[in-house]
Amino acid sequence: MMIQSERGLFGLKVSLDLGRFRQGRQARSVYSLHRSLGSLLIESFGANSLLASWDNIIIADYFVTAVAVHRVGAEAKLDSDMWMGRDVVFKQRVVKRYRHPTLDRSLQTFRIKNEVRLMLEARKAGIAVPIIYSVDLAENRIVMEEVKGVRVKDALENLPMNKAEEVCRKIGEIAARMHMSDIVHGDLTTSNMLLEGDRIVVIDFSLGSKTSELEDKGVDMHLLEEAFHSAHYRRSELYEILKDSYVKAYAGGAEVLKKVKEIEKRGRYTRKE
């Protein structure tokens, strides 16, 4: 007996040979099967509870990529599921059809490697980032730890003031640690920080770089300041606490903040060529 399904994000067609399954065995609703080139996530079929092995599954047209979508952006799609017994996020970079395939492949490979390298260096610098479990260049995908936290952007407005001040001190220290290690995030806002208990986890280094340039570090701090004047305008004074923490923790912090003033006077910021 064969059962077919066209469920999935991309109209995936999957066939299961039910005759190979022993009756009465209960299976999980999501199967995470790992192969050398990455993992394939196989969604179960409705109410039928099946225990699948790789030999029982025939996949045509497309691979199943995920079952729970966190976010779809211009550059990447984030999906959540189980992988090798762990809760993970799959970060899949989006193929740009308007680019020549060779150029697109080269750019995607470079950006994935750059993001992973920056995350590893940030961890060495004592900054909390998601654990990276697997990098699949063939599929333009990173498999990383799923952090069970809330965005600092969402949490900061509702925290008691003393707790909010503590969070901002920690953000200042995090920015200082990054810049001391010449790591520039590239999109340093409270949207790219997760609050998990007392821990702040920094995510999405896709626009980041390794540089000692004051201009780039100034752009980081300028973006962070703008976030407090827009998303957190009701508590914009908290940025002063963050800024004080940054300067205390980073000897070059005062020079970076001077550069921020220059950037603000220009009315716009540009990345130094």
CA atoms within 13 A of residue 185's CA, in its CB half-sphere: 28
Catalytic residue among 17, 182, 187, 244: 187
- End-to-end Cα, the chain, rounded Å: 63
Nearest CA-CA partner of 269 in 187, 179, 167, 153: 187
**Count of alpha carbons within 13 angstroms of residue 214, beta-carbon side:** 13
Strand ranges of the sheet holding 13-17, from the earlier edge strand across to the other edge = 2-5, 13-17, 57-60
User: What tokens does 62 get?
Assistant: 């497309």
- Number of residues that make up the chain: 273
Q: What are phi and psi of 150, to 5 degrees?
A: -115, 155
> Distance between CA atoms of 85 and 232, rounded to whole angstroms?
38
Is residue 187 part of the annotated active site? The answer reads: yes
Phi (first) and psi of residue 178, to 5 degrees: -60, -50
Cα–Cα distances in Å, from 228 out to 27, 139, 188?
47, 37, 11
Residue recorded with tokens 């976010």: 71
Q: Which two tokens stand for residue 52?
A: 């699948």
The residues carrying an active-site annotation are: 187
